[in-house]
Amino acid sequence: MLKQTEGSAAVAEAVALCRPEVICAYPISPQTHIVEALGRMVTAGTLAPCEFINVESEFAAMSVAIGASAAGARAYTATASQGLLFMAEAVYNAAGLGLPIVMTVANRAIGAPINIWNDHTDALSQRDCGWLQLFAEDNQEALDLHIQAFRLAEELSLPVMVCMDGFILTHAYERVDLPTQAQVDAYLPPYEPRQVLDPADPVSIGAMVGPEAFMEVRYLAHAKQRQALELIPAWADEFRRIFGRESGGLTRTYRTEDAETIVVALGSILGTIKDTVDEMRAQGTRI
């Protein structure tokens, strides 16, 4: 269904179609509209069964997501900028525990001075934390990547960030093609957790280990990232077959066949770069 809508609203509808069971919410611009929209769906009963938990900080948001995921629920949250830094300790814990949490990062600059505008320093500061990071060029891709993120996270037992540029995408109104619930269900199977905390069968997770075991855990995280290099393009192809459009994948090229200069970039700036490439090509520059 074609719909003219705000980027945050499109992402909220995509997340809802993925049937999350726990959503942890703490407001920080420019991601707030996403969790507000999801909160309205839960209150109205259109997103059910789902528990929407208001928390007191970004650290609490990720901590609740960790607890929910460890207990076997499909968990989602969102953050931006200093919020991502505040939850950094828990972000590493989520990856180390192999929990398939999906989180939107509405990319925003890190202060000081205080700055609410777009910048990738928040996500890139967590480059080595063990999460996959998927960057969206436009709001259609932001919508699509969330559907792919849940499948990646649950197949790999690895958390995934979907990064979309703050305000430039989150608050921009664009036409998007919203999928049906049947399409999403055909692509994203019901969540079957691989590890579940059960009061009737108590275990410890994330307990202290020595260097020899810690090395093995870090290697496993590396191996999962390598596996993702194969799964991301394969599932982008499956996404195209089910939804009828190209989205996701590892990289995309633009007029590179005979290029002497190639620019590599992430996020919404890709659209501006394509326009600039066209202008420079018209002037004879092989870029």
Q: Is the pLDDT of residue 206 over 90?
A: no
CA-based diameter of the chain, in Å? Answer: 71
Q: Report in angstroms the alpha-carbon separations of 216 from 96, 126, 205, 210.
A: 11, 21, 15, 10
- Phi, psi values for residue 15, rounded to 5°: -60, -45
Find out whether the peptide bond into 202 is cis, omega within 30 degrees of 0. Answer: no
pLDDT tens figures, 10-55: 999 999 999 999 999 999 999 999 999 999 999 999 999 999 999 9
Give the CA angle between residues 129, 134, 137 to the nearest 5°.
140
Q: What's the Cα-to-Cα distance from 210 to each of 108, 205, 213, 219, rounded to whole Å?
A: 37, 15, 6, 14
pTM of this prediction? 0.95
User: What is the overall mean pLDDT for the chain?
Assistant: 95
**Percent of the chain beyond pLDDT 70?**
100
Residues 156-170, mean pLDDT to the nearest whole number: 97
Contact 95, 156 (CB under 8 A): no
